[in-house]
Amino acid sequence: MNSITGKTKICGIIGDPIEHSMSPVMHNAAFQALGLDYVYLPFHVRREELPGAIAGIRALNVVGLNVTIPHKEAVILLLDKLEPLAEKMGAVNTIVNEGGLLTGHNTDAPGFLQALRSKGIDPEGKSILILGAGGASKGISFILAEAGASLVILNRTVTRAEELASQIAQYYHRRPEALTLSEENLARGLDGADILVNTTSVGMVPYVNQTPMPANLLNPNLVVCDIVYNPLETRLLKEAKAAGARTIDGLNMLVWQGALAFEKWTGQKAPFEIMKQAAVKALGYEK
Ligand SMILES: NC(=O)c1ccc[n+]([C@@H]2O[C@H](COP(=O)([O-])OP(=O)(O)OC[C@H]3O[C@@H](n4cnc5c(N)ncnc54)[C@H](OP(=O)(O)O)[C@@H]3O)[C@@H](O)[C@H]2O)c1
């Protein structure tokens, strides 16, 4: 436990629900490892309490805040400034409070990009098949388009994929192809793809026997990323490994988004491995 003094700086996370969040353990481990006089707390904030919570962080001088479901979009109207990526995505997961001036950032999608780059994978010029068009897909699709990848987005509800492709086309040259998530389109989307990214919740507990991609379509030339981190090794990742593909699990994205927020609040390089170990332990993944 950090020892709390009169000078301790407060960070935290707001969401509903909040009990499952890994952020408190990751950030408190990082503060402790670097000897920083900060503490990170979970705040259960319901939709109707959001304006009061944001006024409260100004009043209480909370220096840094993470924002999770269901507040990532609604919080925008309550902030003073948005950094460009958060503005494009229309979603904020990190707030920096500088003397009452609140700036909204998005570190979710940069966390995904950092997870790729930390494994030596640069999306520029790559063909990427994205499964899903929900909240997480939106950020990931934007950042991959910005990084110069060409995208195919498949979603069960095709209108959501089409909407996302149109939003991306407003900012970037290449419009992603948007199709229904069907076996035929999975095969078509994988043809010539370098990277496959699952952003759907298929394969997450309790449905660990499900996979969004038939194993026979996987091949050794692919990098397969699954942003689901519960379980750590999803059926998709197991089958991708068995097919000889490189794999990246969802925990890397989760920890990198936290590490990037940590750096904005403290100005210090985040201790990534310590944050990851704290999350691994809290999730019960320790061997
Ligand atoms: N690693 C990380 O840091 C991180 C960060 C954020 C989220 N996640 C994980 O990513 C997943 C998605 O989160 P989200 O916030 O994007 O959720 P969301 O906004 O609710 O979107 C869910 C997506 O999954 C699709 N989907 C759900 N059930 C499906 C099924 N049975 N078959 C096919 N498609 C299905 C939805 O398709 P429809 O549009 O057709 O409903 C939609 O595209 C969750 O498992 C979450 O835990 C991980």
- What are the pLDDT digits (tens) for 25-34? 999 999 999 9
Is 70 exceeded by the pLDDT of residue 2? Answer: no
- Report the distance separating Cα 173 and Cα 175, nearest Å: 7
The closest of 65, 59, 57, 61 to 12, measured between CA atoms, is 65
Topology of the domain comprising 9-106+252-283 = Rossmann fold (3.40.50)
Is 60 exceeded by the pLDDT of residue 245? Answer: yes
Atom 30 of ligand 1, nearest CA residue: 202
Question: Could you identify the atom of ligand 1 that is nearest to the CA of residue 138?
Answer: 16
> 75 C-alpha vs ligand 1 centroid, how far in Å?
21
pTM value?
0.93
- Report the distance separating Cα 95 and Cα 115, nearest Å: 21
Q: Where would I find the beta strands (DSSP E) of 20-137?
A: 38-44, 64-67, 81-82, 94-98, 101-105, 127-131
- What are the pLDDT digits (tens) for 41-61? 999 999 999 999 999 999 999
Q: What is the pLDDT of residue 44?
A: 98
Element (H, E) at 141: helix 135-146
> 132 C-alpha vs ligand 1 centroid, how far in Å?
6
213 ligand 1 Cβ < 6 A: no
- What are the pLDDT digits (tens) for 135-147? 899 999 999 999 9
- What are the pLDDT digits (tens) for 102-121? 999 999 999 999 999 999 99
Q: What is the pLDDT of residue 285?
A: 87
Catalytic residues: 72
Q: Do domains 9-106+252-283 and 110-248 have the same CATH topology?
A: yes
Domain 110-248 has CATH 3.50.50.60: no
132 ligand 1 Cβ < 6 A: yes
- What are the pLDDT digits (tens) for 154-213? 999 999 999 999 999 998 878 999 999 999 999 999 999 999 999 999 999 999 999 999
Domain segments of the chain as ranges: 9-106+252-283, 110-248
